[in-house]
């Protein structure tokens, strides 16, 4: 094997090895993305169906692999806890990061 073929093969082998090491765990397959979207929808529905929470549109919901993040503003500490409780009640939710805050009164 001449030197140029050897170097070419070595470069290809190195590139393949590096690409295998550089897998990004944060990428989601289409199925995972769909599952996250479905979970987000279920959590939004659970929050909206809680009559005491008022407008569910004031609470943002994001899901990633069973971790649900809530954010937004409500008018009482009780509603902060009720939003988290509603989210935890949804099948498929592993943990809830509750970043909902009480809106300061004017």
DSSP state of 27: -
Closest among 83, 85, 90, 81 to 54, alpha carbons compared: 83
Task: Walk me through the domains of the chain, giving residue ranges and CATH numbers.
Answer: 28-102 (3.30.1340)
- Measured CA to CA, the distance from residue 105 to residue 93 in angstroms comes to 32
Return the biggest CA–CA distance within the chain.
79
Per-residue model confidence as pLDDT tens digits over 16-60: 554 444 444 456 565 555 799 999 999 999 999 886 666 677 899
- Report the predicted TM-score, pTM, of the whole model to 2 decimal places: 0.67
Q: Name the least confident of 4-8, 34-38, 62-66.
A: 4-8
Q: What percent of the chain has pLDDT over 70?
A: 61
């Amino acid at each position: 094997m001449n030197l140029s073929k050897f170097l070419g093969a070595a470069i290809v082998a190195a590139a393949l090895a590096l690409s295998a090491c550089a897998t990004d765990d944060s990428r989601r397959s289409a199925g995972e993305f769909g599952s996250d979207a479905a979970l987000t929808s279920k959590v939004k529905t659970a929050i909206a169906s809680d009559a005491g929470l008022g407008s569910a549109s004031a609470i943002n919901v994001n899901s990633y692999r069973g971790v649900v993040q809530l954010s937004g503003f409500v008018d009482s500490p009780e509603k902060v806890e009720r939003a988290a409780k509603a989210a935890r009640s949804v099948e498929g939710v592993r943990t809830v990061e509750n970043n909902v805050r009480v809106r300061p009164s004017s």
